[in-house]
Amino acid sequence: MTLTDKPGPIGVFDSGYGGLTILHRMRQLMPQYDYLYLGDNARTPYGTRSFDVVYQFTREAVIKLFEMGCHLIILGCNTASAKALRSLQQIDLPTIDPNRRVLGIIRPTAEVIGSLTRNRHVGILATEGTIKSESYNLEISKLHPDIKVSGVACPFWVPLVEYNEADSPGADYFVKKRIDELMALDPDIDTIVLGCTHYPLLMPKIRKYVPEGVRIVSQGEYVAISLSQYFMRNPAIESKCSKGGSCHYLTTENTEKFKESAQMFLHEPVEVEKVTLGY
């Protein structure tokens, strides 16, 4: 592996398109930086895969982004953050380059949740992998031990978004079913975290079925703010992030399909390059 010491773009990785919602917010808040987005669209979804497979796939993506000049990578994917982040930080970074960083998106959300819930009852809607990992429960309990956390897996929500069915009448059934299930677990929930970066595209349906007065938390805004604060605390890392205001996209799938789907998330045309990861 050949790594450059020159400043490079901020890497953003996701198994599919959901991380684009994180990237969009980061670019809004910090447009001066260069960004490089990588979607492992050929192997999505990650939500139902084992810890070992998610770690292997995420590691391959991280190495690719390091090789392309990134010194800092955001795992814009809750499943990768839940199943791979700790191993990458503890096992891989010390040997690859201890000066590079890989950050997730679960902790920034856990950090702010204490200031968002009024009655300390929080719900999580996420993929099966994220819910089974209990990453949100663990992170929130570490920071806010008085908060009760309940979670429900939403296995059909990502396909609804990926296949452009988020606005379809059929989506109502699946969205309502999982929200009702969550509220039945704990009727006192006053704040719901959308623990998957695809879910903001289902927001009109989610708002329709979430009880009145319950706050819905989408991650992008909080991850972007957290990153800007991280830069203030870590100027050495910030100085390694190039500032040309550019954004480039990589996919492991068909580039035309990526362009079409990415427009749903970004509302602007994109140019994308196809890359291969470990296969």
Span 92-102, average pLDDT: 96
> Is the Cβ–Cβ distance between 211 and 183 less than 8 Å?
yes
> Can you tell me the distance from the alpha carbon of 46 to that of 83, in angstroms, rounded to the nearest whole number?
10
Residue 269 has pLDDT above 90, yes or no: no
Q: Which residues are catalytic?
A: 77, 196
Can you give the pLDDT at residue 162?
84
3-state secondary structure the chain: CCCCCCCECEEEEECCCCHHHHHHHHHHHCCCCCEEEEECCCCCCCCCCCHHHHHHHHHHHHHHHHHCCCCEEEECCHHHHHHCHHHHHHHHHHHHCCCCEEECCHHHHHHHHHHHCCCCEEEEEECHHHHHHCHHHHHHHHHCCCCEEEEEECCCHHHHHHCCCCCCHHHHHHHHHHHHHHHHHCCCCCEEEECCCCHHHHHHHHHHHCCCCCEEECHHHHHHHHHHHHHHHCHHHHCCECCCCCEEEEECCCHHHHHHHHHHHHCCCCCEEECCCCC
Its pTM stands at 0.93
In the block, tokens 């994220």 appear at: 130
| Identity of residue 245 | G
- Tell me the chain's radius of gyration from C-alpha atoms: 18
Give pLDDT tens digits for 131-171.
Answer: 999 999 999 999 999 999 999 999 999 999 988 899 999 99
Kindly tell me if the per-residue pLDDT of 37 is higher than 70.
yes
Which pLDDT belongs to residue 279?
60
Peptide bond into 45 cis (omega under 30): yes
Distance CA 269, CA 250 (A): 14
pLDDT value for 163: 86
pLDDT tens per residue, range 161-173: 988 899 999 999 9
- Residue listed under structure tokens 């901020």: 10
In angstroms, the CA 234 to CA 240 distance is 11
Q: How far apart are the first and last CA of the chain?
A: 17
Q: What span, in angstroms and rounded, lies between the C-alpha atoms of 174 and 147?
A: 27
Distance CA 116, CA 216 (A): 10
Q: What is the pLDDT of residue 209?
A: 98
